[in-house]
Amino acid sequence: MYRPPMLDFLNKVLFKKNKAPTRRDVLAALLTQTETEPVSLDREECYLLSNILKLHYVTADDVKVPRVEIKAVSRDVTLEELAAAVAKTPYTRFLVYGQDIDDIRGFIRVKDIYQFLDKAKPFSLKAITRKILFISPSRSVLHLLMQMKASQIPLAVVVDELGGVDGLVTYGDIVRAIVGDIDDVSLDDTMPSLVKTEEKVFEADARLPIETLMETFSLTLTAEQEDDDIETLGGLIVSLLGRVPDRFEIVTHPQGLTFEILEVNPRRVLKVRIRDTR
């Protein structure tokens, strides 16, 4: 009688400890089988299902945006100050704090500000501040995903054992853990560019290898930067600031360069204008 090789594979993986397999075990085994015994799932489906299974072990601490990268405004901010902050960043939501960043009161959506711009309606930050979730670093992202869905709140502040803000998790962060970050995949095969636009002025892809930058501008890394294992121009800029910069922010390098941030997203620098001031 013919015995499909897949049965031997499943028996080996699932019953090696003489325990009845769960549905999770069966699915995980199917997704890790060899290419010689394919299932009726394409590569993309296997990738997504594998990532979903891995979420069982992922916590808020694994996917959080660090505290230093959180964008927040004071509950006492004026409309003009808020509009200026919005213009400088690509964020669509801002946290609102009371006394300091450890006193988070909620969050606002950028599109809710538009109703005040014509000055016909008095500005009220409190009126557009929405509730936010508070979670521990060990919170399972699967449980958090269900909590976000049930509460319709897409942001959660990660707090440490002393009540201080440790980071932020968004609905999008969890989705990225499943499908991956589009910025991690180059849409073409071109190398990161460094283009001279005028005398001592260049425009560069932030993915430019740090070795290329150092050779072109005769730069050296500090011992601390070498310990940080910096690999790209964008990584160097974040290291200099200790955070992801805002769009159009100017970052000064101590060896005579300035970096103007031309494009940025909430997680990384994308494009930079370099000026050699030496």
Least confident of 8-12, 120-124, 150-154, 219-223: 8-12
Report strand pairing: 72-74 vs 93-97. parallel
| 217 domain residue, yes or no | yes
Of 179, 211, 230, the last residue of a domain is: 179
Q: Facing residues of 195 across strands?
A: 203
The domain containing residue 153 runs over which residues? 61-179
Report strand pairing: 201-205 vs 250-253. unpaired
| 48 domain residue, yes or no | no
CA distances (Å), 179 to each of 56, 61, 91, 128, 189, in order? Answer: 15, 18, 21, 31, 21
Of 150, 179, 208, the last residue of a domain is: 179
pLDDT digits (tens, 9 = 90+) for 38-89: 555 566 666 666 666 666 778 888 888 888 778 899 999 998 888 888 877 7
pLDDT digits (tens, 9 = 90+) for 221-277: 887 777 667 788 988 898 888 888 888 899 999 999 999 999 887 677 889 999 998
Same domain, 125 and 15: no
pTM of the model: 0.55
pLDDT digits (tens, 9 = 90+) for 89-118: 777 889 999 999 999 999 999 888 888 877
Same domain, 151 and 227: no
Same domain, 201 and 241: yes
What φ, ψ does residue 271 adopt, rounded to 5°? -140, 145
The CATH number that applies at residue 122 is: 3.10.580.10
Instruction: Domain count for the chain, please give it.
Output: 3
Same domain, 204 and 109: no
pLDDT digits (tens, 9 = 90+) for 133-175: 999 999 888 889 889 889 999 999 999 888 889 889 988 888 8
Of 179, 209, 231, the last residue of a domain is: 179
Alpha carbon distance 40, 153 (integer Å): 36
| 162 domain residue, yes or no | yes
